[in-house]
């Protein structure tokens, strides 16, 4: 794979690692990073060896969201929207077959915070700080934050954070349900990789099914959710039985 201009892509066994690499801009994402992320996430999803993915940032921040220096530079809003939908980076991140872990340190602001919420699990360093300042800039969150945040933190808390733009430290984010665990900054990388390796040992089809069932809990009635769980469980059982039969067990 060719080197990327705005990020680093690496593999450690069954774990892919994407490191946002614009430290001088606090990893604000621009058009080039959007394109690089789209390609890197596609490469990870196409690689049958990748079973877990860690998303992190280099330098002093995870990501401060969209690069405001590029706002308004598209030829027209229509062109900007068409380009965005052709390269749906956030849909690709959400739809990865591999389990995803955000390893957040420093600032996770706007789209940076929303990127972390699109991952299955978020681990935070004790210096992490989160905020959604978009409404103060005359916008609403545009990387899925209006949908992912209520699912993590509840509607009332999500409205508070979206409308006020107030900051949360790592402990507050954990209390709100946005962060699974807070670790010392020096241990963030090792903690994220340890969790990724643990998830990578699971059967990929099991991971996909479990994530599908859990995510559906927000969109289905309890009865429909339980029915989905049963269907997925039965499919896994049948696949395991077929595999056992082929191996002679």
Residues with a catalytic annotation lie at: 114, 134
For residue 105, give the nearest of 165, 50, 158, 63 by alpha carbon.
63
Q: Hey, how many other C-beta atoms are within 10 angstroms of the C-beta on 27?
A: 29
What is Dmax (Cα atoms) for the chain? 63
SS3 content of the chain, % helix, strand, coil (to 5): 50, 20, 30
Name the DSSP class of 4: P
Computed over its alpha carbons, how large is the radius of gyration of the chain? 19
**Encoded tokens for 17:** 């690692």
Contact criterion met (CB below 8 Å) for 200 and 15: yes
> What does the DSSP 8-state code read for residue 218?
T
């Amino acid at each position: 794979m060719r080197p990327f201009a705005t990020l680093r892509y690496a593999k450690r066994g069954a774990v892919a690692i994407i490191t946002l690499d614009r430290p001088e801009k606090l990893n604000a994402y621009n058009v080039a990073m959007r394109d690089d992320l789209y390609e890197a996430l596609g490469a990870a999803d196409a690689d049958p060896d990748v079973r877990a993915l860690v998303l992190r940032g280099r330098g002093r921040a995870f990501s401060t969201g969209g690069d405001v220096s590029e706002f308004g530079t598209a030829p027209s809003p229509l062109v900007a929207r068409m380009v965005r939908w052709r390269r749906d980076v956030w849909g690709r991140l959400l739809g990865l077959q591999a389990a995803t872990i955000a390893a957040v340190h420093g600032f996770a602001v706007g789209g940076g915070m929303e990127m972390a919420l699109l991952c299955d699990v978020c681990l935070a360093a004790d210096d992490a700080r989160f905020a959604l300042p978009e409404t103060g800039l005359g916008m609403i969150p545009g990387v899925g934050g209006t949908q992912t945040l209520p699912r993590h933190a509840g509607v009332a808390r999500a409205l508070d954070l979206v409308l006020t733009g107030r900051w949360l430290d790592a402990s507050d984010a954990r209390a709100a349900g946005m962060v699974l665990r807070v670790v010392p900054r020096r241990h963030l990388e090792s903690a994220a990789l340890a969790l990724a390796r643990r998830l990578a040992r699971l059967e990929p089809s099991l991971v996909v099914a479990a994530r599908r069932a859990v995510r559906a809990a927000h969109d289905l009635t309890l009865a429909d959710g339980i029915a989905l769980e049963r269907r997925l469980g039965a499919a896994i059982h049948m696949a395991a039985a077929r595999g056992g039969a082929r191996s002679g067990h």
